[in-house]
Every structure is written in C-alpha cells, then in structure tokens.
Amino acid sequence: MTMSKSTQPTAHKKSIVIKLGGSMINNLSEVFFRQLEKMQQQSHIVIVHGGGPAINEALANSGQTFEKINGIRVTPEQSIDLIASTLIGQVNPYLVGEFQSFGIQAIGLNGADGHLLKSDYLDQAQYGFVGKVTQVNTAMLHDLCEVKLLPVVACTGMTDDNQLLNINGDDVAAVIAKELHADELLFVTDIEGIQIQHEKITETDQGEIEYWIEQGYIYGGMIPKVTAATNCVKLGIPIVRIVGSSLTGTTIVREKVSI
C-alpha cells in the first residue's frame, strides 16, 4: 500500500553539532562549506563557534590583559561586555555571512536569544563572569533546522537575572550535543586532531587523554576540547571527533581496543 504524501512519516534526520574554533574561523575553505551543504541534506546541523583570537585582539586593543586556567579564560567584570560583544557582534555575523555567501541560509544566535542557553556562574571566585549552561532551548534549534535555517550559536550564556556570561565554546558545543542527543559532535580546530610528539593520533580514549594531559603533551586550548569530548563519549554520543577543516583528525572512543 502506498501512503499519501501527507501521511508519510518524515524520515528521522541525524543531528550533528559542529564546533568551529576561533583559531580556524577565518580559514574555512570552500570544500568545508560544500561538505556542510551535503551533510545538511541528511542531517540537522547546529554550529557553535568560539572566537579566542578575536577576543585576545579586542582585549589587547583596549589595554586589558587576561589569564587562562587550563584553557578557560578568567573573565573579570570589566572584560565581559567587550568579550560578549566580540563574540556576538563581530565573530557571529562574520560566520553567518560566510555561510550565506555559500548559499547556506543561517541564523546567528547567542545564549540569550529565546533562552537558548540558560546559564549560571561556573565558579565566580575563580573565573569571574564565566558560565556553565544549565538549560538549552532544544525545541528552538529543532524548529530552525526544520525550516532549513542553520543555527550559528555564539558561546555566551545568560543568567536568570540577565547577566551575560562568557562560556568556552567547546563546553557549549558539548552541552548542546548532549541535550539534542546528537548523533555526532565535531570539534573543528586549527590542527588535524590530537598530536603527541609529532604523531597524529587517529583514535584515543579517556585513559590515554588523562595520561597525556598529566605529561603535558595535551595543554592549553586542547584541554577543554578533550574534556568536553570524553564527557560526550561517556554520555553515549556515538561519534565524537576533533578534526581540522578537512574534517579528518582524532576519533574519541569509550575504550580503545588494544591490538
């Protein structure tokens, strides 16, 4: 029996969260956009972006210094507005423009929009105005994907009393992936995955990662990425990868099978 068009169930689309690191946002290639266009035909895609280098430049231009603890930027009160406006007012529209110039209709969002990322302070005494996401408006993300608008999310959150918070982009991507029950989470950065003593690592697990952090082989901005990645693997996200803009790199698995 053939079903009429209106009674046909809509095919379940995979959902994929892609985090674009600030380190590579200015170097996205045409190949990347074409690949994304193809992925969009089969999947709901949500983009989350960082903007570390743009924030560094904005802070330097206004004479502000900064400190990072394990890749997380300590954000004093005098820096939060500049950081948020760099992410929301500069990096986000730049990326939306890039997608649209390749024919991909995109919508720029930050954590305050439609309560997308309800947030709270991570640890105000240690990090200042840095947030952790407490709730994600997944319904809005689904609705946007359904109407073929690509959500492009800046990594800022908002507290219940309307304070903007700076959130690490890797953390935002991980929470959104978790809340969407994503099929895949990709961290796209300026290097083709994890490298240890010049060796490219194609597959790894939490045990190896913890050892490499301890030994200092994984440091800086790679720390929030691998932490977010291993958490998502533990939560059951089937595919978690840290990749360069060619989308090749390291796959993080629950437990590596040794041979």
Ligand X SMILES: Nc1ncnc2c1ncn2[C@@H]1O[C@H](COP(=O)(O)OP(=O)(O)O)[C@@H](O)[C@H]1O
Ligand Y SMILES: CC(=O)N[C@@H](CCC(=O)OP(=O)(O)O)C(=O)O
Question: Which residues belong to the annotated binding site for substrate?
Answer: 51-52, 73, 166
Structure tokens given for 228: 């977010």
Which candidate, 15, 48, 45, 13, places its Cα nearest to that of 228?
48
Active site residue 170: yes
Active site residue 160: no
Does residue 190 bind ligand X (CB under 6 A)? yes
Shortest distance in whole angstroms from residue 52 CB to ligand Y: 3
> Exactly one of 71, 128, 169, 170 is catalytic; which is it?
170
If the CB atoms of residues 155 and 237 are measured against ligand Y, the closer one turns out to be: 155
Does residue 151 bind ligand X (CB under 6 A)? no
Shortest distance in whole angstroms from residue 104 CB to ligand X: 21
Does residue 209 bind ligand X (CB under 6 A)? no
Shortest distance in whole angstroms from residue 62 CB to ligand Y: 14
Does residue 219 bind ligand X (CB under 6 A)? yes
Active site residue 19: yes
- What sign does the CA torsion over 208, 210, 214, 220 have? positive
Q: Residue 204, exposed/middle/buried by CB under 10 A (0-12, 13-18, 19+)?
A: buried
If the CB atoms of residues 144 and 201 are measured against ligand X, the closer one turns out to be: 201
- What sign does the CA torsion over 219, 225, 230, 234 have? positive
Active site residue 113: no
Does residue 221 bind ligand X (CB under 6 A)? yes
> Residue type for 238, please?
P
Sites of contact with ligand X (CB under 6 A): 21-24, 50, 52, 189-191, 194-196, 217-222
* Residues carrying an active site annotation: 19, 22, 52, 170, 225
